[in-house]
Chains A and B, each alone.
Chain A
C-alpha cells in the first residue's frame, strides 16, 4: 500500500476549476424554462434524457474527489428537500469562480473563507424581510376557483418583468369583515439600518383604525376552528397598492407589512391557488396535479376529523405516483385511493368483489413458501427425508398454498396486499376462490391501508388473527384507463379505496417513455414545494427578488466597508487574534464584490434562460441598471417592493386607484432555498481550503507517468 499525495493548490486552484466546470453543465437547468439534455454512454450506446441537476450528476461519471463531493452535496439537498438542486449546482459554479477571482487578486484564503461565509450570513438575515406569511388556511367549501383557471397564465420570472396575461382571477376588495386586514394593521418599526428611516413612520403613529380590533379575527377564528380546512390567506398586501406614500414596515417577526395613508386595502384571490401558481415556477401541469391531490387529502382528512389541530399540511407520505409511459399527457390525473394494475385474469374476481366492502390482510414481506423474515438465516445443511415418495419437493409449495388459502377462508379475507412478491401458484389458487392478491405494494400505501382499514401488517400468513384483518376496502375497476392499452399489456387497472383514507394516487402519463422520469421528478418537486410552504407558513417573494436583494445588499456592504475602514470588521473573522483580523477591511470589499458577482451571474443566467433576453450580456446590463438604482435609493428593499407595486399598478390599474387587479406572483420556499445557498458556499469553501489530495492504496504503477507529476509517495 502506498500513499500518494498530490498538491492541488499551486498557482491555480484545480479543485475550484473542476467545480466550476462541472457546474457549468447544469447552467441550462436554472429557472422555469429548462432545456433537457441527452447523456450518451459511449461504451454501451445507451442514452438518457435528463432535465434536472440531480439526474445530471447521477448519470455523469464523477470519479474524481471534487466531483464526488459535488454529487454528494446535490444528493443531500435533493434527499432532504427535493428542490433547489439547480440553484445549488449553479451557485457552486458561480462562487467557485468568485473564490478563484479572489485568489487571483491575492486575497489570503482564510479571509476569503471568513468574509464569504459572513457575507452570505448577512444576506440570509437580510432576505428575512422578503418573507410572505401564509396565514392559514384553505376553505374549500368557499372555493370556486380551481387550479385550471390559472393554467394559461404566464408567470414571469423577474419581478420587474412580470408579464401578465389574461387570468380570470376575480378581484375582491376587503371589507371590515376580512381577517387579513386586521392582521395587517399591527405594524411596528424595526431599526434595520439598511432601510432609509424616513420611509417609515414611528410605531406610535400606527393608525388605530377600528379594523385593528382583534375581536373580529378571534370570532372568525373560532368559527373556523371546527372545520379542518380553513381559508389560506396570503397577507402580502404590499403588492396591491399604487400609492406613492406606501410604507413598508418590517414587523419584529420579520414579515413585511404595508400601510398606506388611507385605511389598509388588501385584495384576495383564491389563496391556495395563488400559492400554488406562485410555487409552480412555470410547471403548471405538475402543480395542477398537486393541487388536485391536496384538495383530495384535505377533503378526506376533513371527513376523518371533526376539528382541526394546527394548519393543514400536504402529507407527502400519502401521495403515490404511478407512471404509465406511452399514454398521452391528458391521461395524467389524480384519484383518491390506490390505483394499480392486475392481471387480466382477475377480471372476474373484481366483478365479484365490486360494490361490497372487502376484508383485507397486509403482508410485510414476500408471500411465498420459502420467504423468511429479515434477519433469519436459513440453515443449508438440513435435509428432510420421508418414507413415502408421494411428498415431492413441489408439494411443499402446494401444501403451503392450501394452508394460506385455508387461513384466508377462515377469516373471510378477499384481498391480500403484500409488500414483496407473491407466489404465482397462490395467485392462481386465490383467483379460483374469488380472492385478489396484489404484490409489490409500496410501504407508504401499506401504511395508509393499515391506518384506514384497521389491518395490522404481519410477516407471515400464519400470524393472521382476527384483529389483524382490516375491513371496508372497496375494489373497483378504474375506467379512465384506455381499454386498448389494457388489452395490449394483458392487465387491467383497479382502484382500491377505504373510507377516510387520505392516500392519493397520482397517475402520470407521458407519450415519450424517456420523459417519464423527468415528469415524475417534476411532480415531486412541486409537491415538496407546496408541502414545505404550508409547513413553514411562509414563502419568499420569488422570481429573483430574493437574489436581487442579496446582490444589492452585498453591493452596499462592500461600498460601506470601503468607506468605513476596519470598524466592526474583526468579528468577521473566525480567529480574531490573527493578523488577518486587522486586514479584513483591506480585502473585504473585494471578496464581497466577488460573492455578489455570483448572484449577478445567477440572475443574468436566469433571465437569459427564460428567454427574456437574448444574451447574457444584455441581461447583465439590465440587472446592473436596476442594481445601480437600488443602491442609489439607499434602501434596496423598498426599491424592490416599489418596483413591484409600480409594475402592477402600471399595467393593471386603469385609472381606478382602489380597484387593482392582481396578477399571479412567483413564490419561493424559504428553508430549502437558503439551505441550497449554504450548501453551495460550504462546498466551494471546503474545496478552496483543500490543498492536497491523499490517495490511499495506489501503487506507483497505477499512476501512469503522465499523471504522476505532482504525486509524492510515502
Chain B
C-alpha cells in the first residue's frame, strides 16, 4: 500500500542576502576560512562525531570537502572555491576569503546591485591587466636555469600548511624532494611541446619525515612472501612487459542472471584455469619477462609463469595502471583470449627495495618521466596533510612552467594591488569607466570596497593580534606588534616585509593599513636584481592566484545578483 502525501508548495525567499540568518552563516563560514589562512593559521579538527577518523587541517581542499553546507548561498561559494581548487590546487582559502570580504563590503556600500557588479568587473579587469603586464611590481619572472625561486615557491607552500608538522630541516628536505620529483617529470629532450610525466606519491606512514625520498620509476608495494619468489635478474638491457587490467584470478564473474546448470564431471573452474594456462603459454612463447596485473592472478598461473622464468606481479591496483602503461609503453590487456604482441611494452631494469617495514618492487623504465615520491610522516593526520600539500606544490610547479612567473606572497601582492587600484581609480577614472553610465563617486565607493576587501584579506594572515602596516613606496605588507608606540621609529620595530623582499633599513614611509591615507602610486617594475638577491622569499603561484582572484570576484557578483531563492521542499 502506498501512501500519498500532498505536495508541499515550494518556498520562495526574496533578497536572500538581507536575511539575518544568511548573514550570520556567511560570517561563520568567513570566520572558519579566515582563521585557517597563512603559516600561522589555526587548524580545524574535522570528524563525524561518531568515532570516524579525525582530520586536522587548514587547507581549503580538505576543509570544504567535509563541510556539508545547506544554505544555498554558502553552497554557491563553496562549490566555486572547490572548482577552483580542483583546477589549480592552490589559493583556495584566498578565493573564499576574498569572496566573503567582497560580498560583505559591497553590501555596506549601498549601491544598486547592477552598478556594483559592473564596477566590480571593471576593477577585476584592472587587476588582471596589471598583473599580466610587464610593469607589474609584484610579480617575478622565473628563470628555469636556477632552482632558487622554485625552491622558495615550494617552501612557501609547505610553511603555509602548519598541520604538516614539519620543522625547518624537514621543510628543506621535503622542498628539495618535491622539486626533484617535479624535475624528474620533465622530459629530457623536449621538442616544441612538453608533455610532463607524473610523480606518484607512495605512502609510508609512521616513519620520520626525513626518511622520505624520491626515486625515478615506479614503486609497487609487494608482500614479503612475494619478494622471496622474485627471480634473480637475467642480464639484458630491456625486458618485455605485459600489463593486464582484466582479472586473472580464474573466477567466472559474468555468469549473468539465472542459474547455470552443469552436469556432473564438468568443472567450469578448471575450464577457466585451462584458458589461463593457455594464456600463460602464449606469454612464455612471446618471451615476456614480466607480467603485471591490476587484479589477482591465479596461483597456478603464477606458478606456471615462475617455472618458466617469468615474474608475475598481481594486485597492482588501479592507481598505478596509468603510469605503468605510460612508462612501459604497454596497452593494458582486458581479455583472456589471445594477446596481440603490440600490447607488450618494455622496461629497462627492476630491483627490490625495503623502506620502513614495506617491501617494494622498483621498476626502472626506459622513459624516465615518471617518478615515485616516497612520503613519510609520523601519523595519519599529518601524513594526509603533507600529501595534499605535496600534490599542491607539484601542481603549482606545473602551472609555473606554463606561465613562468611567481607572485610575491606574505600579503605583499594584495596590499600592493590595493594601492595600485586606489591610485588608478583616483587618477584616471575615465579610462576605467569607459562611459558606461556609472559616476566617478560610485567608482570611488566601489574601489574603496574592493581595495579594503583585498587589504582585509592580507590582514587575515595575522592571527596573534599584531597590526598591519604598509609602506608608501612599494605598497608592501608589514606586520608589527599591537599597541606599538606610534610611528616613532618604525625601522627599529619592523624587520622585513611579508614576502621578504625589502628590509626595514630603507626609509619607506610606513602607515597603518586600516587607517585613512592618501592614495599613492606604488613603485612598479620590480627591479631585476631584487629577484636574484633574496633567497628566502615568500612566493605564490601566479596562475592559481590570478584564477582565484577572478573566481572570487565573479562568485561575489553572482551572490550579490541573487534576488530569489526557491526551495523545493518535497
Is A576 a contact of B264 with CB atoms below 8 Å?
A: no
Say whether chain A's binding surface is mostly helix, strand, loop, or mixed: mixed
What residues of chain B lie closer than 8 Å to A73, measured between beta carbons?
A: 378-379
CB distance from B302 to the nearest CB of A (A): 9
Check if A206 is an interface residue, CB within 8 A of chain B: no
Tell me which of B28, B47, B74, B479 contacts A68 (CB under 8 A).
B47
Cα distance A582–B255 when bound, in Å?
A: 73
Whether A222 is near chain B, meaning CB under 8 Å from some CB there, is: no
Interface-located stretch among B83-91, B238-246, B414-422, B492-500: B492-500
What chain B residues lie within 8 Å of A463 (beta carbons)? Answer: 299-300, 303
Partner of B300, one of A317, A460, A689: A460
Tell which of A8, A65, A457 has the most Cβ of chain B within 10 Å: A65
**Is A679 close to B, CB under 8 A?**
yes
Specify which chain B residues have a CB less than 8 angstroms from the CB of A467 in the assembled complex: 307
B interface SS class:
loop
B260 near A692: Cβ-Cβ < 8 Å: no
Is B53 within 8 A of A689, CB to CB? no
- Tell me whether B315 and A375 are in contact (CB under 8 A): yes
Stretch in contact with the other chain, from B11-19, B224-232, B322-330, B429-437: B224-232
Closest chain A residue to B254 by CB distance? A379
Across the interface, do B42 and A379 meet the contact criterion of CB distance under 8 Å? no
B456 within 8 A of partner (CB)? no
The answer on a CB contact under 8 Å between A714 and B74 is: yes
Interface size on B, residues (CB 8 A): 97
Q: Does A698 contact B (CB under 8 A)?
A: yes
On whether the beta carbons of A383 and B260 are closer than 8 Å, the reply is yes
User: Which of A76, A446, A447, A465 contacts B206 (CB under 8 A)?
Assistant: A76
B158 to A: closest C-beta gap in Å:
10
The answer to whether A692 and B262 touch (CB under 8 A), given A80-B207, A578-B40, is: no
Q: Is the CB of A443 within 8 A of B464?
A: no
| B495 to A: closest C-beta gap in Å | 5
Identify B259's interface contact among A65, A383, A391, CB under 8 A.
A383
**Complex CA distance for A245 and B44, rounded to whole angstroms:** 57
- Asked if B201 CB lies within 8 Å of chain A CBs, one says no
User: Are B28 and A383 in touch, CB under 8 angstroms?
Assistant: no
Most central of A376, A377, A443 by chain B CB within 10 Å: A376
A453-475 contacts to B, CB under 8 A, are 456-460, 462-463, 465, 467
A5 contacts the other chain (Cβ, under 8 Å)? Answer: yes
Are A690 and B379 closer than 8 Å at their CB atoms? no
Interface string of A521-550 (1 = CB under 8 A from B): 000000000000000000000000000000
Contact B255 A379 (CB under 8 A): yes
Instruction: Name the interface size band of chain A.
Output: 35 or more
* A712 within 8 A of partner (CB): yes
Is the beta-carbon distance between B228 and A387 smaller than 8 angstroms? no
A569→B203 CA distance, assembly (Å): 35
Q: How far is the CB of A550 from chain B (nearest CB, A)?
A: 16
Q: Is the CB of A385 within 8 A of B264?
A: yes
Of B107-115, B159-167, B174-182, the one with at least 4 CB within 8 A of chain A:
B159-167
Which of these binds chain A: B61-69, B128-136, B438-446? B61-69
B2 an interface residue at 8 Å Cβ cutoff? no
Given known pairs A575-B40, A682-B165, A692-B32, the reply for A3 and B67 (CB within 8 Å) is yes
Chain B positions within 8 Å of A571 at CB level: 168
The answer to whether A376 touches B250 (Cβ under 8 A) is yes
8 Å CB contacts to B: which residues of A2-30?
A: 2-5, 8-9
Tell me if B43 and A697 are in contact (CB < 8 A). Answer: no
Once A460-B300, A698-B49 are accepted as A-B contacts, the answer to whether A580 and B380 lie under 8 Å apart by CB is: no
- Total A-B residue pairs with C-beta atoms closer than 8 Å? 263
B300–A462 touching, CB < 8 Å: yes
| B253 touching A696, Cβ below 8 Å | no
Select which of B40, B381, B496 is within 8 A of A69 by beta carbon.
Answer: B381
A582 with B35: CB separation less than 8 A = no
Is A1's beta carbon under 8 Å from chain B?
yes
For the complex, is A384 an interface residue (Cβ under 8 Å from B)? yes
B423 within 8 A of A: no
B262 close to A385 (CB less than 8 A): yes
**Smallest CB separation, B131 vs chain A (Å):** 22
A555 CB to closest chain B CB, in angstroms? 22
B43 & A65 in contact (Cβ 8 Å cutoff): no
Given contacts A575-B39, A576-B500, A577-B498, whether A696 and B205 have CB atoms under 8 Å apart is no
- Does A382 touch B at the CB level, under 8 Å? yes
Contact B259 A576 (CB under 8 A): no
A76 touches which of B71, B205, B496 (Cβ 8 Å): B205
Shortest distance between the CB of B380 and any CB in chain A (Å):
6
- Binary contact track B264-284/A, C-beta < 8 Å → 1, others 0: 111010000000000000000
Which chain A residues border B51 with CB–CB below 8 Å?
Answer: 63, 68
In the complex the two chains form, is A582's CB within 8 Å of B495's CB?
yes
Q: A383-B262, A574-B159, A697-B48 are in contact. List 6 more A-B contacts (CB 8 A).
A: A377-B249, A381-B258, A384-B263, A384-B266, A696-B46, A697-B49
Top-10 shortest CB links A-B = A375-B296, A386-B264, A459-B299, A108-B464, A691-B42, A1-B68, A695-B49, A577-B496, A80-B206, A110-B40
Q: Can you list 26 residue pairs at the A/B interface with Cβ under 8 Å?
A: A4-B49, A66-B45, A68-B51, A69-B54, A72-B54, A72-B381, A109-B463, A118-B167, A121-B167, A373-B298, A375-B315, A386-B263, A462-B300, A463-B303, A577-B497, A579-B480, A580-B40, A580-B466, A582-B494, A682-B382, A690-B42, A690-B44, A696-B48, A696-B49, A697-B48, A714-B29
A residues adjacent to B (C-beta < 8 A): 1-5, 8-9, 63, 65-66, 68-69, 72-73, 76, 79-80, 108-111, 113, 117-118, 121, 317, 364, 372-379, 381-387, 391, 443, 446-447, 450-451, 456-460, 462-463, 465, 467, 570-571, 574-583, 671, 675, 678-679, 682-683, 685-686, 689-698, 702, 712-714
